[in-house]
Protein backbone atom coordinates (compact mmCIF):
# COMPACT_ATOMS: atom_id res chain seq x y z
CA UNK A 1 0.00 0.00 0.00
CA UNK A 2 1.42 3.37 -1.03
CA UNK A 3 2.00 6.10 1.53
CA UNK A 4 -0.21 9.18 1.22
CA UNK A 5 1.82 12.37 0.75
CA UNK A 6 0.13 15.75 1.22
CA UNK A 7 1.13 19.41 1.10
CA UNK A 8 1.62 21.08 4.46
CA UNK A 9 -1.10 23.60 5.32
CA UNK A 10 -0.55 26.77 7.33
CA UNK A 11 -2.54 25.38 10.25
CA UNK A 12 -0.12 22.43 10.50
CA UNK A 13 3.09 24.43 10.91
CA UNK A 14 3.34 23.98 14.68
CA UNK A 15 2.81 20.22 14.42
CA UNK A 16 5.36 20.00 11.61
CA UNK A 17 7.87 21.85 13.80
CA UNK A 18 7.35 19.17 16.48
CA UNK A 19 8.14 16.50 13.90
CA UNK A 20 11.36 18.23 12.84
CA UNK A 21 12.43 18.80 16.44
CA UNK A 22 12.01 15.07 17.08
CA UNK A 23 13.72 14.15 13.83
CA UNK A 24 16.90 16.08 14.62
CA UNK A 25 17.02 15.79 18.41
CA UNK A 26 20.00 14.36 20.25
CA UNK A 27 19.23 13.17 23.77
CA UNK A 28 20.97 15.24 26.51
CA UNK A 29 22.80 12.23 27.96
CA UNK A 30 24.46 11.70 24.55
CA UNK A 31 25.16 15.35 23.85
CA UNK A 32 28.84 15.49 24.82
CA UNK A 33 30.03 12.53 22.82
CA UNK A 34 27.86 13.27 19.78
CA UNK A 35 28.03 17.04 19.65
CA UNK A 36 30.15 17.19 16.49
CA UNK A 37 27.76 14.89 14.65
CA UNK A 38 24.85 16.78 16.16
CA UNK A 39 26.10 20.11 14.81
CA UNK A 40 26.66 18.50 11.45
CA UNK A 41 23.19 16.99 11.29
CA UNK A 42 21.23 20.07 12.24
CA UNK A 43 20.24 22.55 9.57
CA UNK A 44 19.98 25.19 12.29
CA UNK A 45 22.06 25.44 15.45
CA UNK A 46 19.81 27.49 17.73
CA UNK A 47 19.34 24.66 20.22
CA UNK A 48 23.07 24.92 20.94
CA UNK A 49 23.22 28.70 20.88
CA UNK A 50 19.90 29.89 22.27
CA UNK A 51 18.07 26.96 23.87
CA UNK A 52 14.95 24.90 23.19
CA UNK A 53 12.44 27.74 22.94
CA UNK A 54 14.32 29.60 20.23
CA UNK A 55 15.05 26.33 18.47
CA UNK A 56 11.31 25.74 18.10
CA UNK A 57 10.77 29.33 16.96
CA UNK A 58 13.40 28.87 14.27
CA UNK A 59 11.77 25.73 12.88
CA UNK A 60 8.35 27.40 12.86
CA UNK A 61 9.77 30.50 11.16
CA UNK A 62 11.45 28.32 8.57
CA UNK A 63 8.16 26.57 7.82
CA UNK A 64 6.29 29.89 7.69
CA UNK A 65 8.79 31.07 5.09
CA UNK A 66 8.53 28.02 2.84
CA UNK A 67 4.92 26.85 3.30
CA UNK A 68 3.41 29.58 1.06
CA UNK A 69 5.59 28.29 -1.80
CA UNK A 70 3.44 25.11 -1.64
CA UNK A 71 6.26 22.63 -1.80
CA UNK A 72 6.41 21.45 1.81
CA UNK A 73 5.27 17.83 2.00
CA UNK A 74 4.22 15.59 4.87
CA UNK A 75 1.88 12.69 5.68
CA UNK A 76 -1.58 12.91 7.28
CA UNK A 77 -0.05 11.63 10.53
CA UNK A 78 2.90 14.09 10.26
CA UNK A 79 5.46 11.29 10.25
CA UNK A 80 7.99 13.41 8.39
CA UNK A 81 8.47 16.70 6.58
CA UNK A 82 10.20 17.55 3.29
CA UNK A 83 10.83 21.17 2.34
CA UNK A 84 11.61 21.95 -1.30
CA UNK A 85 12.67 25.28 -2.74
CA UNK A 86 11.36 25.66 -6.30
CA UNK A 87 13.38 26.82 -9.31
CA UNK A 88 14.48 30.45 -9.04
CA UNK A 89 13.78 30.38 -5.29
CA UNK A 90 17.34 31.47 -4.50
CA UNK A 91 18.72 33.54 -2.93
CA UNK A 92 16.51 33.43 0.13
CA UNK A 93 14.72 36.72 0.75
CA UNK A 94 15.92 38.39 3.95
CA UNK A 95 12.78 40.52 4.26
CA UNK A 96 10.51 37.49 3.96
CA UNK A 97 12.65 35.71 6.58
CA UNK A 98 12.05 38.60 8.97
CA UNK A 99 8.33 38.57 8.21
CA UNK A 100 8.29 34.84 8.98
CA UNK A 101 9.82 35.54 12.38
CA UNK A 102 13.34 34.33 11.76
CA UNK A 103 14.92 36.92 14.09
CA UNK A 104 17.13 34.72 16.25
CA UNK A 105 18.61 32.93 13.27
CA UNK A 106 19.47 36.19 11.57
CA UNK A 107 21.19 37.43 14.72
CA UNK A 108 23.46 34.42 14.38
CA UNK A 109 23.36 33.98 10.65
CA UNK A 110 25.84 31.17 10.00
CA UNK A 111 23.26 28.58 8.83
CA UNK A 112 21.40 31.20 6.77
CA UNK A 113 24.51 32.55 5.04
CA UNK A 114 25.97 29.07 4.54
CA UNK A 115 22.88 27.88 2.71
CA UNK A 116 22.89 30.86 0.37
CA UNK A 117 26.64 30.72 -0.24
CA UNK A 118 26.47 27.00 -0.99
CA UNK A 119 24.30 27.53 -4.02
CA UNK A 120 26.02 30.72 -5.14
CA UNK A 121 29.30 28.80 -5.21
CA UNK A 122 27.78 26.11 -7.42
CA UNK A 123 27.27 28.74 -10.12
CA UNK A 124 24.34 26.81 -11.55
CA UNK A 125 23.25 28.27 -14.87
CA UNK A 126 19.87 26.58 -15.19
CA UNK A 127 16.80 26.47 -12.92
CA UNK A 128 16.84 23.69 -10.33
CA UNK A 129 14.96 22.28 -7.36
CA UNK A 130 16.58 22.34 -3.93
CA UNK A 131 15.71 19.94 -1.13
CA UNK A 132 16.21 22.26 1.82
CA UNK A 133 15.03 20.03 4.70
CA UNK A 134 14.05 16.40 5.11
CA UNK A 135 13.24 15.03 8.55
CA UNK A 136 11.43 11.87 9.65
CA UNK A 137 10.25 11.33 13.23
CA UNK A 138 12.40 8.78 15.03
CA UNK A 139 9.49 6.36 15.52
CA UNK A 140 8.92 6.09 11.76
CA UNK A 141 12.40 5.73 10.32
CA UNK A 142 13.46 2.98 7.93
CA UNK A 143 9.92 2.61 6.64
CA UNK A 144 10.41 4.35 3.30
CA UNK A 145 8.85 7.62 4.48
CA UNK A 146 11.80 9.84 3.57
CA UNK A 147 11.90 8.46 0.04
CA UNK A 148 8.13 8.84 -0.30
CA UNK A 149 8.27 12.47 0.86
CA UNK A 150 10.77 13.52 -1.80
CA UNK A 151 9.32 11.41 -4.61
CA UNK A 152 6.69 13.92 -5.90
CA UNK A 153 9.27 16.60 -6.69
CA UNK A 154 11.85 14.13 -7.99
CA UNK A 155 9.25 12.94 -10.49
CA UNK A 156 8.20 16.49 -11.36
CA UNK A 157 11.79 17.63 -11.85
CA UNK A 158 12.48 14.67 -14.10
CA UNK A 159 9.37 15.43 -16.14
CA UNK A 160 10.42 19.09 -16.47
CA UNK A 161 14.03 18.13 -17.30
CA UNK A 162 15.41 19.95 -14.25
CA UNK A 163 18.11 18.83 -11.80
CA UNK A 164 17.65 18.58 -8.04
CA UNK A 165 20.27 19.65 -5.50
CA UNK A 166 20.69 19.27 -1.76
CA UNK A 167 23.38 19.29 0.85
CA UNK A 168 23.72 16.76 3.63
CA UNK A 169 26.04 16.73 6.61
CA UNK A 170 26.28 13.03 7.42
CA UNK A 171 27.65 10.00 5.61
CA UNK A 172 24.38 8.24 6.40
CA UNK A 173 22.60 11.03 4.53
CA UNK A 174 24.89 10.56 1.55
CA UNK A 175 24.01 6.86 1.37
CA UNK A 176 20.29 7.57 1.70
CA UNK A 177 20.25 10.14 -1.08
CA UNK A 178 22.41 7.96 -3.32
CA UNK A 179 19.71 5.30 -2.98
CA UNK A 180 17.27 7.89 -4.34
CA UNK A 181 19.33 8.71 -7.41
CA UNK A 182 21.57 11.55 -6.16
CA UNK A 183 25.32 11.71 -6.69
CA UNK A 184 27.93 13.66 -4.73
CA UNK A 185 28.82 16.83 -6.61
CA UNK A 186 31.19 18.39 -4.08
CA UNK A 187 32.53 17.81 -0.56
CA UNK A 188 33.22 20.90 1.56
CA UNK A 189 34.88 21.47 4.93
CA UNK A 190 33.54 24.50 6.83
CA UNK A 191 35.40 25.85 9.90
CA UNK A 192 33.12 26.56 12.85
CA UNK A 193 35.81 27.21 15.48
CA UNK A 194 39.58 27.52 15.44
CA UNK A 195 40.03 23.77 15.79
CA UNK A 196 36.80 22.27 14.44
CA UNK A 197 35.17 21.97 11.06
CA UNK A 198 31.98 20.43 9.76
CA UNK A 199 31.81 18.47 6.55
CA UNK A 200 28.94 18.62 4.15
CA UNK A 201 28.28 17.08 0.77
CA UNK A 202 26.52 18.84 -2.08
CA UNK A 203 24.53 16.29 -4.06
CA UNK A 204 22.80 16.44 -7.42
CA UNK A 205 20.21 14.33 -9.20
CA UNK A 206 20.04 14.66 -12.95
CA UNK A 207 16.60 14.64 -14.64
Among 153, 156, 164, 54, CA closest to 111: 54
Among 5, 1, 30, CA closest to 156: 5
CATH of 6-163, one of 1.10.10, 3.40.50, 3.40.630, 1.10.3470: 3.40.630
Distance CA 171, CA 169 (A): 7
Per-residue pLDDT tens, the chain, 207 aa: give them. Answer: 579 999 999 999 999 999 998 888 765 444 443 444 444 344 445 454 545 666 778 788 889 989 999 999 999 999 999 999 999 777 676 666 666 666 554 444 444 455 555 555 566 778 999 998 999 999 999 999 999 999 999 999 999 999 999 988 888 999 999 999 999 998 988 776 677 777 889 999 999
| Domain edges within the chain | 6-163
pLDDT digit string (tens) for 9-56? 999 999 999 999 888 876 544 444 344 444 434 444 545 454 566 677
pLDDT digit string (tens) for 179-190? 999 999 989 887
Question: Does the CA dihedral 63-67-72-74 come out positive or negative?
Answer: positive
Amino acid sequence: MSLEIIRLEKTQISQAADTLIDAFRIEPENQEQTQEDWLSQLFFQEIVLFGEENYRETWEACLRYFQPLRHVYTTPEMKGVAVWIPPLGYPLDVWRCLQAGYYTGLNYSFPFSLLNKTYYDLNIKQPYWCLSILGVSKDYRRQGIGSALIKPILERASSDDLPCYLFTQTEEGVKFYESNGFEVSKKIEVPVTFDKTITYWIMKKEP
